[in-house]
Structure 1
Amino acid sequence: MPCAAGIHSLNGNGELTGRSWIEESGSLTLPIGITNSHAVGAVHAGIDEWTQAAHPELAAEWLLPVVGETWDGYLNQINARHVRPEHAIAAIESAATGPVTEGNVGGGTGMNCYGFKGGSGTASRVVVYGEREHTVGVFLQANFGSRNELRLAGRPLGRESAAPNPYEDAAWFVRDGERARVRGGSGSVIGIVITDAPLLPGQCEALARRVPLGLARTGTSGSHFSGDIFLACSTANAGAFTSSMPVTPVGDQPYESAEFVPWGRIDPFFEAVVQATEEAVANVLVAARDMVGRDGHANVALPHHEVCAAFATS
């Protein structure tokens, strides 16, 4: 079922496929895939294959899957094609409601954030709107930021950490035969905002524009070498925002209709996005665990005792 959708790019040094059609139509129809930079094609093909099997009526028209990426080449053999289309199909078919596993999972397995082990994270807020309640959820694949930038709830954690930082000595990039040195802050972040509040596509785009405000609360200034791209969707207004090729005359019901939150009352939803984004970054860093990847490359998680010490009361 199509959803109203909007996209915002803070920095375009990354990829989110299908965005041109979302910007044109204001809608999202297919599952969203998030992977590493060099597996976008495999995941794209997997979503194509799944759609052809599960929804042949869609595949008969055209398919423009949405696949986002962040770079995990420090820990992962990124050119080894470990991710294949069948992995994307398995992920879609095993998707379920309930709590989302965070940290070193899914596309976030090989990611690093603020010089610590990064990965996948999520958080949500409930917005009371008149007699109704709406949930605003944020999911991040977090692979961004320099160690000295990290702050949680205003407290500097990165620059004072005693944990080793693989990005302080970027000579490994040259030793591995790469053409350039990796820079602190490199990597990217993909953010997905989903809400059941009824919103127009332009309002979804406005929510997507608030994700960077939540990221900024954790310290990032948005590196030139980080692709920071955000997608927001509203699951309300079922049956609206369709874009199928017509096969019958216009008939007696030529129009779609949708309800939406008035623009003048949208601020609580903006606040929810900012708060949930900030918390999702914290959840990534707390849930992630130390990891040793390809060729002995290692990264450590944000030490929990350093977090506890930073927030301890005297």
Structure 2
Amino acid sequence: MRIRELGVTIGSGTPGLYNAITDVPGVRVGHHTLNVETAETSIHTGVTVIEPRAGAAHLQPCFAGVHVLNGNGDATGLEWIREAGLLTTPIAYTNTHSVGVVRDALVAAEREMGKKHTYWCMPVVLETYDGTLNDIWGQHVRAEHVQLALQDATCGPVQEGNVGGGTGMICHEFKGGIGTSSRVLTAEQGGWTVGALVQANYGVREALRVAGYPVGRVLDDVPSPFKGEVNVGEPGMGSIVITIATDAPLLPHQCTRLAQRASVGLARVGGGTEDSSGDIFLAFSVGNSNLPAANFGHPGAPTTGLHMVNNDYISPLFVAAADAVEEAILNAMLAATDLKGCASQAFSLKPERLLDALAKVGWQP
């Protein structure tokens, strides 16, 4: 179930065919999920990968930009994006204690694809904390799981909820995880597509808003995973990482501006104000397909012809990004299913329960 299937419209734009980040031409998403429950341990985690273009990303780099709303989190590869404005590897989501192994696995994958064409890479890996439901100290994500996620990467519909890196995540004290959405601009606005993919693991219950309505205030009857006999953390802990993709020909500084608009979508749902949340956002553009390959030591022509969106046309892209992020978070929550792990349990936001809460706070279809 997704938020639009409930008759709830987020924003005024039109989603793409799949209402997913994969509506942006060439973008692919893959997951590998680990779910093992034994008497000794609870393993609920995984890896999600976003490929900006099919094949070796260093052969067709993308302009990109980064925005950090709150830095209580970790990531790899962002400094090179800030410096060069280029995304030259896939992007991966995982849990906090698996950043290193995922990064190393992506390096190995790039080595196999690149061989003699390049001699270093800086993969982008983003994380959120799943230790409330997953044995995070066991570091169960391994290199082969990253390879399986890469092999799974495809265009088309994207799995959401308890999948990949989002398997053990919690959002607004409900079960969270992976969510996605997209918007297609009108021809007059440029006709471009904007897509977002989130790993939602943040937020307090009472702050949750859907389509502007404060539903979190009337959902306190659903048990919180943080309120039990065992100390498993506190409401609001966690993070959210967001990737925004577009085929609009944006330059790096414009990608940074687009990434900033993820903050707007996050705020609409009720996030972005917790000290303990790492809110890290990345945006990339596939709109210039002729950028020179990242073949360091083997330079091509001294100049490259580029296209760029005029600033007079960039505001609709900002609107689309904010709307797609807002809807992606809600899709993550609705797609998720109940999960018990470690010393706690996270209940999903059931569609019928959400509709009941919306009616209580004045929403009408």
* TM-score normalised by structure 1 residue count: 0.91
Do residues 184 (structure 1) and 235 (structure 2) align?
Answer: yes
> 1:21: which partner in 2?
80
Residue-pair matches, total: 301
Do residues 283 (structure 1) and 341 (structure 2) align?
Answer: no
Work out whether residues 183 and 225 of structure 1, in 8 Å CA contact, stay in contact via their aligned partners in 2.
Answer: no
Mapping 1:270-309, distance limit 5 Å: 270-295=318-343, 297-309=344-356
Alignment gaps of 5+ in structure 1 = 174-181
Q: How far has the Cα of 1:241 moved from its partner?
A: 5.8
Do residues 254 (structure 1) and 312 (structure 2) align?
Answer: no
Deviations 1:151-174 (A, max 9, x none): 10122222311110122348423x
Work out whether residues 197 and 244 of structure 2, in 8 Å CA contact, stay in contact via their aligned partners in 1.
Answer: yes
**Distance in 2 between residues matched to 1:82 and 1:3, nearest whole Å:** 32
* TM-score normalised by structure 2 residue count: 0.79
Identity %: 44
**Distance in 2 between residues matched to 1:258 and 1:188, nearest whole Å:** 36
Do residues 200 (structure 1) and 251 (structure 2) align?
Answer: yes
> 1:213: which partner in 2?
264
Q: 1:57 to 1:30 in 2, by over 3 A?
A: farther
Deviations 1:249-271 (A, max 9, x none): x7xx4201210101121000000
> 2:104: which partner in 1?
45
Work out whether residues 91 and 125 of structure 2, in 8 Å CA contact, stay in contact via their aligned partners in 1.
Answer: yes
Q: Which amino acid aligns with 1:261?
A: V
> 1:151: which partner in 2?
209
Secondary structure class of the residue paired with 1:284: helix
Q: How far has the Cα of 1:128 moved from its partner?
A: 2.3
**Distance in 1 between residues matched to 2:187 and 2:255, nearest whole Å:** 17
**Distance in 1 between residues matched to 2:311 and 2:287, nearest whole Å:** 16
Q: 2:317 aligns with which of 246, 269, 285?
A: 269
> 1:229: which partner in 2?
280
Q: CA RMSD in A?
A: 1.8
Work out whether residues 189 and 316 of structure 2, in 8 Å CA contact, stay in contact via their aligned partners in 1.
Answer: no
Q: Which amino acid aligns with 1:94?
A: D
Work out whether residues 44 and 85 of structure 1, in 8 Å CA contact, stay in contact via their aligned partners in 2.
Answer: no
Secondary structure class of the residue paired with 2:332: helix
Alignment gaps of 5+ in structure 2 = 1-59
**Distance in 1 between residues matched to 2:335 and 2:187, nearest whole Å:** 32
Q: 1:87 to 1:155 in 2, by over 3 A?
A: same
**Distance in 2 between residues matched to 1:246 and 1:11, nearest whole Å:** 36
Work out whether residues 31 and 92 of structure 1, in 8 Å CA contact, stay in contact via their aligned partners in 2.
Answer: no
Q: 1:126 aligns with which of 159, 184, 187?
A: 184
